[in-house]
Structure 1
Amino acid sequence: MSGTVPRLAGSLLLVLAAGASALGAAGSVQAQPGPRGTAVRPLGQIVPAPAQVSPAGGLFTLTPSARIRVTGDPREARQVGTYLAGLLRPSTGYALPVVEDRGHGTKGGHDIRLALTPASGGLGTEGYRLDSGPDGVTLTARTPAGLFHGVQTLRQLLPASVEKRTRQSGPWQVAGGSITDVPRYAYRGAMLDVSRHFFTVAQVEKYIDQLALYKINELHLHLSDDQGWRIAIASWPRLAPYGGSTEVGGGTGGYYTKAQYAQIVAYAASRHLEVVPEIDMPSHTNAALASYARLNCDGVAPPLYTGTEVGFSSLCVPKDVTYAFVDDVIRELAAITPGRYLHIGGDEAQSTSQADYVSFMNRAQAVVQKYGKTVMGWHQITSATPVAGAVAEYWGYDDTGAAERAQVAAAAKNGTRIVLAPADRSYLDMKYDENTELGQDWAGTVEVNRSYDWDPGTYLAGAGVPSSAVIGVEAPLWTETIVTNDDIEAMAFPRLPGIAELGWSPESTHDWNTYKVRLAAQGPRLTALGIDFYHSPLVDWPADT
């Protein structure tokens, strides 16, 4: 796709400001001048790229007297309005009261209007429309999620300094015109491995806020592995305090109480992300096996594990106690997870025979269904018999063997849905190049262009996976070498925004040469947010980032 000409005529408008922008000789975007020599961001210069952009004359200017007016369901619209006000108040210094709009849709007052209108056609469950001009900005959506995503677009159209937590000088202007935007895929995920290294509630919430900026809507939490069990289970009380007492390298580990997990779920929901919990099995289970001897076939508990090798552990498939354990864990986790999915892993089961693997996965899937959740697993689940409606998460490489891909394709043709997370494209823990200090390179090095320059719709087409089976993409971050939020940010940014764009934007907008210009414009925003991102040499970052 790199270097191709976008086929959607509307996508050409992504690099235009309202009647005044053009591409310079070096490929940089020339923005419309504003007062005092400032520049107004072109209407489509955001990430992910909008589906349709129609520039028009005039500018919106946020003034000290502006209000955030909400219509539709007052509670749900007000929640989004309050969130927006919380973003804008520190940097602008404006009061920005959130008020119910009683003007029956009239414009005026340089206000920002948030309109929940369930009858809005063509916007789906997450789409929105933004209209900007001298009389104000109006965001329209059928659902609160759509309105929230529209707020992220408005946020990116304002100067990057709007992200700062201290008062800035402005002016706060948005180019005139309209954006109509709907996501390409319903599932746009990011995975955080809290098992190899544990991350606190506050650390996870910080990542959630960063994901929301790029319209990610699924947070996959890898809650158990050989190195740590991170969720309290009342019926197996030793799992979390003992199984969660360490991590890679021998740190103190940690775990979430059910109340803390509920806090993460609620915080994610406030940013319109659904939490997908994962309990990996039958392998990646040493923390559980160490906690309870009876889960082992020989009745002997192994020691806690702090290394990074994989594939050596397995629940004891023939034992009845294994399925009592699986039932209890899934029952308790499903009860505190309002989201649709429960991920049961299923990868790298090298110490489990294929016959035992099939037997185990068939029984484990039935338990997930019993408690009202949709089965999700890594793509090896397709070597068993995925239940109706199951989702397989593909983490293979570009050159994964034909037999393995054919197995995934056969399942897809039988109704299994696919989320794409190819390790040599979307794994955020892969090194950028051989000099990257953090991360691993077992799937190769993954620069920013490689993580962006692939099409989810055709990625497995050669193997026979129909494009209709693909429901989205995910950017996993494994944490063998990741310890702090700074580590998360260094590996996630700037690759995460590109994967988010693959999930949201029309395929016709996907072009590395134009994307890297929009990505460069994200640099000041990331800097204002305090994100110390990787300055890829492939991107012409502004000097002040």
Structure 2
Amino acid sequence: MSCSIDGGGRGRGGRGGDGQGSGDGPAAGGGESPARTPALGRVVPAPSSVEPAAGVHTLTADTAIRVGESDDARAVGEYLAGLLRPSTGHPLPVTSEDGADGVRLRLDAAESALGAEGYRLESSDASVTLTAREPAGLFHAVQTLRQLLPAAVEKDTAQPGPWTVPRGTITDVPAYAYRGAMVDVARHFFTVEQIKRYVDQLALYKINKLHLHLTDDQGWRIAVDSWPKLTSVGAVTAVGGGSGGFYTKDDYREIVRYAASRHLEVIPEIDFPGHTAAALASYPELNPEGETSEIHTGVEVGFSSLTVGKDITYDFVDDVIREIAELTPGEYLHIGGDEADATSQEDYAVFMEKAQAVVAKYGKTVVAWHQLAGARPAPGAVAQYWGYDDTSAAERAGVLGLVGQGVRLILSPADRTYLDHKYTAEEELGLKWAGLVEVDRSYDWDPAAYLDGVPREAVLGVEAPVWTETLETTEQLEYMAFPRLLSTAERGWSSGGEWDEFRLRLAGQAGRWEAMGITYYKSPTVPWDEV
């Protein structure tokens, strides 16, 4: 397929993939030299508090990872050892034996100020001590420790070192509880291994939610036992007519398990009542007159709809949500609800009220796109806002109406956070219906102030979606995500911050991406060669 297509409406649309190039292609080059120790605060997202001290702590062949008697601390310690052993060549035994030296991982329930995800990192001559109240905080502390080591620590073969960490203390707590990234696997399918690779990259930047857009007009990507044709018919193709694919239930369980091991919660999205051409093609009885229809392989939106007045529609919705909820241990289940242009306003309100009730029936909290304003939100509902600077006053008023009914918001402004949008007009990949999104623009917004009239406490957090109309490979996905993913990660964790300072920390990540084999866009807005 051609990668230069551009859709209307919202147009939603591991290791490997080294790239060489300049500002207009996948790049390698710049970043920190392999043995250079970053400054204590030069990490992404920016820590809450940084107190540097003189000197460095050095990991050696005698360094142990001390985890005490906690199974949760041991799990994080084993993860850390697995990261560091290949490049350092050090044995780094994980031990319950106490000691004043080495890397010390501590869980302390009395550290209430650190909350569910905060941590403290203390680096001295004798040791590096990571302290948290909860395992997630300890895991996030490890991500900061990684970034404080030379970039070559990310390589999977032995490197010369030395392996130094700057001395001092970092105390760090996130601004928002929800810090997400979404992958659209419906327009083009991405395998379990590809998703696991992306999960590892998200974890490095303290993203804690993985939103999977599992169904759309172009493909149904998750097995549903009670409706098997959804995958035998609805999963066989993709945008442009290419090959499709789907996750078996075991595949999905593996993604959930792997994400949980990196402290990410998986949020499945089944898009209703629009974006349903793959389902309608799989089961003609879901169409108004039971007529046969085709799976859509183009990029147009807003033409499909479930039949709101049919009983079988709600049998279908109940079965699908029940089976997906059974597979999903997390709190949230996303039901889409956007671009339902083929559904009358009256039918939309009826359908969304019934679908939300089914989500609650199976013990989940409903998430929907902000078009939920066209229906009555369920108690506790969450709306995901994808508007942008030119979104109409009426649409923003609808969002304010949701907030007035107690709905919390996930902010995904398309002209700031959509990773599938073009960096420049010359880019081959990506869409541009919400405008061009260079790296500086992806950072230049404040979640607490983005929507006038929305109080900060109504903002649950932020999310960076990547829609895949033009993206088919891991390298393409990474090129569009990096470096912009880090802008959303920082807005979710650190909230504030200035571009001139962030761009330096961002440039310092390039050597790490190259060590990990991540393909990225070498934006001219970032001083890659100045760090």
Do both proteins adopt the same fold according to a TM-score greater than 0.5, normalized to the shorter chain?
Answer: yes
Aligned to 2:50: 53
- 1:416 positional shift: 0.1
Match of 1:539 in 2: 526
1:402 aligns with 2:393: yes
In structure 2, what is the Cα distance between the partners aligned to 1:151 and 1:39?
19
Q: 1:387 aligns with which of 372, 378, 384?
A: 378
RCO (CA 8 Å, sep 6+): is it higher in 1 or 2?
Answer: 2
Alpha-carbon separation, structure 2, partners of 1:233 and 1:40: 50
Deviations 1:229-274 (A, max 9, x none): 0000011011112100110111120000101100000000000000
Q: Letter of the aligned partner of 1:349 in structure 2?
A: A
Q: Residue 542 of structure 1: CA displacement?
A: 2.8
Specify the SS of the correspondent of 1:204: helix
Matches within 5 A, 1:353-368: 353-368=344-359
| Alpha-carbon distance in structure 2 between the residues aligned to 1:459 and 1:226 | 31
| Match among 339, 348, 351 for residue 348 of structure 1 | 339
Look up the equivalent residue of 1:387 and give its one-letter code: A
Of 99, 103, 114, 1:112 maps to: 103
Query: What's the secondary structure of 1:476's corresponding residue?
Result: strand
The 5 A counterparts of 1:251-266 are: 251-266=242-257
1:513 aligns with 2:500: yes
CA distance in 1, matches of 2:119, 2:69: 14
Summarize deviations over 1:193-243 as a string: whole Å, max 9, x none: 000000110000000000000000000000000000000001101111210
Query: Which of 490, 496, 515 is the aligned partner of 1:528?
Result: 515
Q: Aligned-pair distance for 1:292?
A: 0.2
Q: Could you tell me how far apart the structure 1 residues matched to 2:37 and 2:198 are? A: 28
Aligned 1:153-302 pairs, distance under 5 A: 153-302=144-293
1:21-73 Cα deviation digits (max 9, x unpaired) = xxxxxxxxxx9xx9xx9643110000000000011123110001111110252
Distance (Å, rounded) in 1 between the aligned partners of 2:414 and 2:157: 39
Contact 2:483–2:521 (CA<8 Å) still a contact in 1?
Answer: yes
Is residue 311 of structure 1 aligned with residue 302 of structure 2?
yes
2:483 pairs with 1:491 = no
Q: Which amino acid aligns with 1:181?
A: D
SS at match of 2:520: coil
Q: TM-score, normalised by structure 1?
A: 0.90
Segments ≥4 residues shifted beyond 3 Å:
none
CA contact (8 A) 2:268 2:334 kept: yes
Q: Percent identity?
A: 62
Distance (Å, rounded) in 1 between the aligned partners of 2:233 and 2:110:
52
1:100: which partner in 2?
96
- Out of 65, 68, 74, the residue aligned to residue 68 of structure 1 is 65
Deviation at 1:121, TM superposition (A): 2.6
- Report the alpha carbon displacement of residue 383 of structure 1 after superposing the two structures with TM: 1.7
TM superposition shift of 1:543:
8.1
SS of the residue 1:236 aligns to: coil
Cα 1:303/1:397, change in 2 over 3 Å = same
Q: Cα deviations across residues 491-541 of structure 1 (Å, max 9, x unaligned)?
A: 00000011100000142xx10000001001011111111012000001111
The match for 2:493 among 499, 504, 508 is 504
8 Å CA contact 1:489–1:533 kept in 2: the answer is yes
Paired residue secondary structure (2:336): coil
Letter in 2 for 1:169: P
Asked if the contact 2:35–2:152 (Cα under 8 Å) also holds between the matched residues in 1, the reply is no
Letter of the structure 2 residue corresponding to residue 414 of structure 1: Q
How big is each residue's C-alpha offset from its partner over 1:298-320, in whole Å with a ceiling of 9 and x where there is no partner?
Answer: 11121121111000000000001
CA–CA distance in structure 1, aligned partners of residues 530 and 194 of structure 2:
29
Query: Contact between 2:35 and 2:151, CA under 8 Å: does it hold in 1?
Result: no
Tell me the distance in 2 between the aligned counterparts of 1:121 and 1:273.
Answer: 22
Distance 1:375 1:382 in 2: 14
1:413 and 1:466 in contact (8 A); partners too: no
Name the aligned partner's letter for residue 355 of structure 2.
A
Give the distance between the partners of 2:36 and 2:365, measured in 1 at CA. Answer: 48
Amino acid at match of 1:537: P
Letter in structure 2 aligned against 1:311: G
Letter in 2 for 1:42: A
User: 1:368-426 CA deviation, whole Å, 9 max, x = no partner?
Assistant: 00000000000001221111110000000112111110111111122100000011110
Mapped partners of 2:379, 2:372: distance in 1: 13
Q: Secondary structure at the match of 2:529?
A: coil
Q: Which residue of 2 aligns with 1:321?
A: 312
Q: In 2, Cα distance between the equivalents of 1:263 and 1:532?
A: 25
| Aligned equivalents of 1:502, 1:71: Cα separation in 2 | 34
How far apart, CA to CA, are the structure 1 residues paired with 2:245 and 2:289? 28
Partner Cα distance (1:385, 1:305) in 2? 30
State which drifts further: 271-280 or 240-249: 240-249
> Contact 2:447 / 2:495 at 8 angstroms: preserved in 1?
no
Q: Determine the C-alpha separation between the residues in 2 that align with 1:255 and 1:38.
A: 43
SS at match of 1:253: coil
- Deviation (angstroms), 1:132: 0.1
Give SS of 2:302's match: coil
Match of 1:90 among 86, 90, 93: 86
Asked whether the equivalents of residues 268 and 275 of structure 1 are also in contact (C-alpha less than 8 Å), the reply is yes
Cα RMSD over matched residues?
Answer: 1.5
Question: Whole-Å Cα distance in 2 between the matches of residues 261 and 532 of structure 1?
Answer: 26
Q: Taking structure 2 as the reference length, what is the TM-score of the superposition?
A: 0.93
8 Å contact kept, 1:227–1:247 = yes
User: What does residue 4 of structure 1 align with?
Assistant: none
Equivalent position amino acid for 2:218 in 1: Q
CA distance in 1, matches of 2:530, 2:462: 32
- Retained in 2: the 8 A contact 1:51–1:506? no
Confirm or deny: 8 A CA contact 1:241 1:255 kept in the other structure: no
